[in-house]
A and B are shown apart, each in its own frame.
Chain A
Amino acid sequence: MLWLCLHFYHLPVECFSGDRDAEQPLFISEAGRIIGCNHQARRHGIQPDMTPTAARALVAHGHHHVRDLERERHVLERLATWAGRFSPRVSLQAPAALLLEIEGSLRYFQGLEPLRQRILEGIRQLGHRITMGIAPTPTAAWLLARAGDETPVTARKALGPRLSGLSVAILPVEQRMTDALHGLGCETIGDIRALPRAGATRRLGQGLLEMLQRAHGERPDPRENWQPPASFDRQLQLMEATTDLDMLRPELQRLIDGLCISLRRHDAGVRRLRFALHHRQGRPTLLPVGVLAPCRDAGHLRWLLDRRLDGLTLSGDVTAIHLRAGRFHPMPGTSTALDLLDEGRERNVTDDWHRLVETLNSRLGEARVHRLAIHSEHRPEKAWAYHPPGSALQQKAVPATVARPCWLLKQPVLLKSPRGKPEYEARPLLLEDGPERIETGWWDGHDVTRDYYRARTRRGQRVWIFRDRRGQRHWYLHGIFA
């Protein structure tokens, strides 16, 4: 077996540079220290180990990000899918490396050097930087790549001598461990291997020594193959262009059926679908469909799509239709019989609820359907928020100890106040209760200093008003005790 490791040593920066203007300085920090930056940032004098504050002082217009491991993982997964063209066996080595088993690929690519060149050329085009390590064990290939030692090791007996020269600084261990190794007088991997076995285990722990054993092939080193995430992306060309939605429906049905077959094969469901109707000219008409729980029920998806189509008028001929499904969520086959026995009615209510929200979302758009939540905040306008209905929310305890109105105005409305006496709908207001002073928010630039009162008109309308304590000391209507 021969393993090739691609070590993306610049990944923390590269995973952010994709979506930005490459001419802008970009730097990444972790735990309050700069850990990487792009070429432009380096030209401005930004260096690793600086504080982000110092870096911002050097480049005011630069982009600063905190290291995002999830984003790095995402990019690495994409690269793993790409690397599948060189070997059927690709595995991820977190946080920033890929391992390819290449022995079987050498014949196809006519030898090691042509394969290396093909990979390097591909990586260059993708805009990444790597070091490459080649060795008979995956861990050794990884260590060589981390060390930047690109000369391949093909024979197992050459492995020991090559690894023993590597510095302990390249080991994927915490700083504490590196310090401990220095304390023991170990500068290279060879020094660690020369330590008396029992004492080394006691001082350094099993983990490091076992990793070195795996690197030397003295211990099995199994790797999990990377499986590209399942997805669905299909386009149908129409035989003839049409503006008639009824002509499209069977074609859309075919796409949905194809998707659901694929989902069943993967034991999965989807939550987001995006249909696109392509026109001869202009932008495609997009029809997003979402469900709250992963779904592979063709009838239900069709029903939701129909609700989308209900309110639709086509701007032009449709020449092709396209369906892309979002991430496949695992959804093992359900044993319906047991579910029904267990919690029949409760389940049905939840299912019906999902169906209602999905139907509303499809017809009205997700921006029009909300759940309501309380925010811990003194400013009345910020003490609430809308959330999508599918989101799981922790409802906080109710902080209301004073009366608040059930209706709040989106924006406080200026009230007429002849001779300083506020009026509502041309009726003078009688102040009943107050003032309740709300004075807060100075930290985010939306500070308020207000005196709130409960008031009513002679006809019994109760409202919540405040007097701005700054400027002209105007009166505003902010809520209605409906």
Chain B
Amino acid sequence: MEQAIDQLLEQPGIWRASARHPSPVHPAGAHVPSGFSALDSALPGGGFPGSALTEILHDEHGIGELRLVMPALARLSRGGRWIAMIAPPFVPYAPALAAQGIDLSRLLIIHPADSPQALWSVEQALRSGTCAAVLAWPSRCDDRSLRRLQLAAESGDSMGLLFRSQAAASERSPAALRLTLDESSGQRLDIRILKCRGIPAGPIELDTWSTTPVRAQQPLPLEG
């Protein structure tokens, strides 16, 4: 019996939560460092999962929800593929995004008419293989559509970032990583890892404000 289990566990397709090392199915190269060392060291694989869904749950705007992903996006935008923003709640402001190091010529903004169109667009963008990251603000999103998006992200090798309200925290989700952001006092952003592939770390406090490249700066180097 013992032997049979050991044999089973040697199958390359089996992924073990206790192993902090990423499984061969999701190799380390597929993770996208967030650029915040406190977060990267807490996340299995050292960053956002590269070909999977990540949910970022927050209720308030302006607490650092975009600053959290900007360094990663800035780097991805210079990697030869595109970044799509689907149904953003406000106008993505070009001068600020450029100042954060995003290559605007690699950015696509989509304003779908309704929720089904939005989900369809997210799936197309994830599946296309040409988007390194797809950011989406879906108004409604059930377990079944999340599953479709997760599959699309895997087949298109795309990082899907879904920004949803904290009410979604109690719902089931196939996303590879789920973070909730609590409003912080002052400089800090309090992040809790709801779900990840591996052993979740405790709450993380990030200073997204003073480390964020608000002023124009060199883009981060591409990962070797």
Which A residues form the contact surface with B (CB < 8 A)? 311, 346, 349, 352-353, 355-357, 359-360, 363-364, 368-374, 380, 383-386, 389, 393, 395, 398-410, 456, 458-463, 479-482
Contact call A403/B215, Cβ cutoff below 8 A:
yes
Contact call A407/B110, Cβ cutoff below 8 A:
no
Most buried by A among B62, B113, B128: B62
Tell me which residues from 97 to 126 in chain B have a Cβ below 8 Å from any Cβ of chain A.
97-100, 103-105, 107-113, 117, 120-121, 124-125
Contact call B112/A395, Cβ cutoff below 8 A:
no
Residue of A nearest to B65 (CB): A482
Residue of A nearest to B214 (CB): A403
- A-B residue pairs in contact (CB < 8 Å), sample of 22: A349-B81, A349-B130, A356-B130, A359-B124, A360-B110, A363-B121, A368-B110, A369-B110, A370-B110, A395-B103, A398-B216, A400-B96, A400-B98, A403-B214, A406-B67, A406-B93, A407-B66, A407-B93, A458-B185, A459-B183, A481-B67, A482-B61
Given contacts A364-B110, A400-B215, A406-B100, whether A480 and B94 have CB atoms under 8 Å apart is no
Which one of B5-13, B46-54, B84-92 contacts A? B84-92
Residue of B nearest to A353 (CB): B130
Residue of B nearest to A481 (CB): B62
Residue of B nearest to A345 (CB): B80
Complex partner residue of B185 from A363, A384, A386, A460, CB under 8 angstroms: A460
Which residues from B are CB-within-8-Å of A461?
A: 60-63, 183
Given contacts A401-B215, A406-B66, A462-B209, whether A370 and B184 have CB atoms under 8 Å apart is no
Which residues from B are CB-within-8-Å of A463?
A: 62
Contact call B188/A460, Cβ cutoff below 8 A:
yes
Q: How far is the CA of A425 from the CA of B100 in the complex (A)?
A: 27
Residues 127-163 of chain B: 1 if any A CB is under 8 Å from the residue's CB, otherwise 0? 0111100000000000000000000000000000000
Complex partner residue of A383 from B89, B95, B109, B216, CB under 8 angstroms: B95
Which residues from B are CB-within-8-Å of A383?
A: 94-95
Contact call B215/A389, Cβ cutoff below 8 A:
no
Tell me how many residues of B have a C-beta within 8 Å of chain A: 55
Contact call B63/A460, Cβ cutoff below 8 A:
yes
Contact call B109/A371, Cβ cutoff below 8 A:
yes
- Say whether B64 faces chain A, with CB atoms less than 8 Å apart: yes
Q: How far is the CA of A389 from the CA of B110 in the complex (A)?
A: 10
Given contacts A461-B62, A461-B183, whether A370 and B215 have CB atoms under 8 Å apart is no
Complex partner residue of B128 from A356, A401, A410, CB under 8 angstroms: A356
- Say whether B224 faces chain A, with CB atoms less than 8 Å apart: no
Which residues from B are CB-within-8-Å of A393?
A: 105
Contact call A384/B94, Cβ cutoff below 8 A:
yes
Q: Given contact pairs A406-B70, A482-B61, enumerate 14 new A-B contacts (beta carbons under 8 Å).
A: A349-B81, A353-B82, A356-B130, A363-B117, A363-B120, A372-B94, A374-B95, A384-B94, A400-B215, A406-B93, A459-B185, A460-B63, A460-B186, A461-B183
Contact call A357/B99, Cβ cutoff below 8 A:
no
Residue of B nearest to A425 (CB): B60
Which residues from A are CB-within-8-Å of B100?
A: 406
- Say whether B193 faces chain A, with CB atoms less than 8 Å apart: no
- Say whether B189 faces chain A, with CB atoms less than 8 Å apart: yes
Which residues from B are CB-within-8-Å of A359?
A: 124
Residue of A nearest to B111 (CB): A368
Most buried by A among B70, B80, B124: B124
Contact call A407/B91, Cβ cutoff below 8 A:
yes
Q: How far is the CA of A165 from the CA of B120 in the complex (A)?
A: 75
Q: How far is the CA of A393 from the CA of B106 in the complex (A)?
A: 11
Given contacts A349-B130, A356-B124, whether A371 and B105 have CB atoms under 8 Å apart is yes
Which residues from B are CB-within-8-Å of A371?
A: 104-105, 107-109
Residue of B nearest to A482 (CB): B66
Contact call A404/B93, Cβ cutoff below 8 A:
yes
Q: Which 6 A-B pairs have the closest CB atoms?
A: A407-B90, A384-B94, A400-B99, A461-B62, A482-B66, A404-B96
Contact call B109/A407, Cβ cutoff below 8 A:
no
Chain A nearest Cβ from B140, distance in angstroms: 18
Which residues from B are CB-within-8-Å of A364?
A: 110, 112-113, 117, 121
Which residues from B are CB-within-8-Å of A311?
A: 117
Q: How far is the CA of A433 from the CA of B57 in the complex (A)?
A: 29
Tell me which residues from 184 to 215 in chain B have a Cβ below 8 Å from any Cβ of chain A.
184-189, 209, 214-215
Q: How far is the CA of A363 from the CA of B214 in the complex (A)?
A: 36
Complex partner residue of B99 from A380, A404, A456, A482, CB under 8 angstroms: A404
Chain A nearest Cβ from B160, distance in angstroms: 15
Given contacts A349-B80, A406-B96, A479-B93, whether A460 and B183 have CB atoms under 8 Å apart is yes
Contact call B105/A395, Cβ cutoff below 8 A:
yes
Which residues from A are CB-within-8-Å of B117?
A: 311, 363-364
Q: How far is the CA of A399 from the CA of B216 in the complex (A)?
A: 9
Which residues from B are CB-within-8-Å of A408?
A: 90-93, 96
Chain A nearest Cβ from B168, distance in angstroms: 18
Most buried by A among B108, B183, B188: B108
